[in-house]
Every structure is written in C-alpha cells, then in structure tokens.
Amino acid sequence: MTGNTLRTFMLLAAMTALFMGIGFLLGGAAGAMIALVVAAGMNVFAWWNSADMVLRMHGAREIRPDERHPDLRRFAEDTVRLAQGAGMPVPRIYVIETEQPNAFATGRDPRHAAVAATTGLLNRLNREEVQGVMAHELAHVKNRDTLTMTVTATLAGAIGMLANFALFFGGNNRAGLIGTIALMIFAPMAAMMVQSAISRSREYEADRIGAEILGNPMALASALEKIERSARQTMNPAAEQNPATAHMFIINPLNGQRMDNLFSTHPDTANRIHRLRQMAGAAAPVRSGPWGQRGPWG
C-alpha cells in the first residue's frame, strides 16, 4: 500500500467516524449504528449509479463508433489508444457542450468507467494537450479514484444533512442545544476538509500517472496552464448547478481558488505544473505541441 493510498484510506476512515460520531450524539449507540447503516446504503447506491447520474447532470453525450463528426471520432480514437496502451479497459467516452475547457472521469471501477471532455477543451487545446488531459482522467480510472471520490462526496453530503437534521432534536440529544449548533457549523466544515484533502492528493497522483501513460509530462503541463487560464473566465452552468461534482474535474469549474488551502478541492495549478516539469526534467516555460495553440475544433 503506497503512502498516498494509506493516507486516502485514513481520511475515508476519519470521515466515516465523523458520520458515526454525529449519529452517536443524536441517538447514542443506536444512533451511531443507524448512521453507519445509512452511510453504507448511500455508498452502495452511489457505487452503482454514480457514473450515469453525473453524466446526466452535465448533459454529456456519448461518442459512439458511428460518430459522424470526424474530430470527435479522432478524439475518441486517441482516447481508446491511450487506454489500450495503459493496459486497461476502454471507458465510455463522452462530450459535454459547454465553452469552459474541462474534463472528468466517473464510474465505480475500470470496467464501468466513463471519461468526458467539454467542447471548450477540444476547441482551446491542441491534440497532444487533449491527450494529456485524457491520460490524466484515465489515471483516475486506473487508480479507482472515481469510486473514492464518489464515496467521499456521498459521505460529505450525508454529514451535512445529518448535522442539519440535528437541529430538529434541539437540546434533547447528547450534544445539547449549544453542542447542536456547533455540530451544524463544524461537522460539514470537517467533512469538507477531509474531502478536499483526499481530492488534492489524488490529483497529484493522477498527474504523475497520466504523464507516464502519455509519455510526455509537458503536454499535460501545457494543458493545465491553458485550462486554468480559460476556466477562470468561462462559466460552466451545469457545474454551478451541481457544485458537489466540482472535485471530479481536472480543474475546479466553479471559481479561481489559487492555493492549497484547507477547503480547496484542487491543488494549486502552478504546483501541479511545477511537478510535471520536474518529471520532464525541464526548467523552460511550457511550450505548445505540434498542433499549435488551438485544437482542431477551433
């Protein structure tokens, strides 16, 4: 078990313990057990349905083998080759109609996974950079991060719901009225901190493995630089309506958080680019690939 995997396991255990702790404060040992059963049920539901739910939220359209658009077909073919080169099952491939350049992966395991890219990504990035982004998303699938992120999102939402539910019990629970108010404020914050820590650690690892899958860290570094710059200036309506999915994207689709603070779901992009440059052994500025500044859709 790698240090990164061990850290993720410990953070997930902490989030589960927090959820059970809230249940104990509300209803003693019975409340803790009920909370555990609810958490297990929610995670099973999310495990089976997460991929299709997220894809529907963002209006994603699957790119099928009979796709008529030649550029979309080429994008899908490139992604298939990357997956095959990485020795993993080929995921379903989707496109999302939105101007913001971004991408995400979802699914309960590598055999039931999907990757999605926005039309903004395909329009603003060159072909090699798009491949770098897809390699990053395939790394998430290979690492089973898609399941981890689904579980953390489900638990975080459940903790917030349970903390708000505590208000109805008022001073009749073990926490008392003051404790209940504190619970409502700090429990969701603690869950968010844990969720963010898990997300940040997995992004760094996906950058590393994605660069290895493609064999060109600088292509992913260049892609991250372009996406960060463009995403801050372009609204993603579906992401704004479903902020719980923000941590799944390669770059935060909601706002321009710049630092690795406690509540940021993504590492600082400059830090990610720096690590990729170190992988490539390059200190020079990031350069575009052979397809130029804009993608074939632009």
- Catalytic residue numbers read 137
Confidence check: pLDDT of 76 > 80: yes
Given a contact cutoff of 8 angstroms between Cβ atoms, the answer to whether 246 and 113 are in contact is no
Residue 189 has what pLDDT? 65
Confidence check: pLDDT of 233 > 60: yes
CA 139 – CA 143 distance, rounded (Å)? 6
Provide the Cα torsion 225, 264, 136, 272; round to 10°. Answer: 50
DSSP states of 81-103 as a string?
HHHHHTTSPPPEEEEE--SS--E
pLDDT band at 249 (very low <50, low <70, confident <90, very high): very high
pLDDT band at 51 (very low <50, low <70, confident <90, very high): confident
- Convert 273-285 to b/e letters by CB count within 10 Å (16 or more is b): bebbbebbeeeee
CA 82 – CA 88 distance, rounded (Å)? 9
For the whole model, what pTM was predicted? 0.76
pLDDT band at 191 (very low <50, low <70, confident <90, very high): low
Residue 12 has what pLDDT? 66
DSSP states of 143-192 as a string?
TTHHHHHHHHHHHHHHHHHHHHHGGGTGGGSTTHHHHHHHHHHHHHHHHH
CA 251 – CA 246 distance, rounded (Å)? 8
Residue 185 has what pLDDT? 63
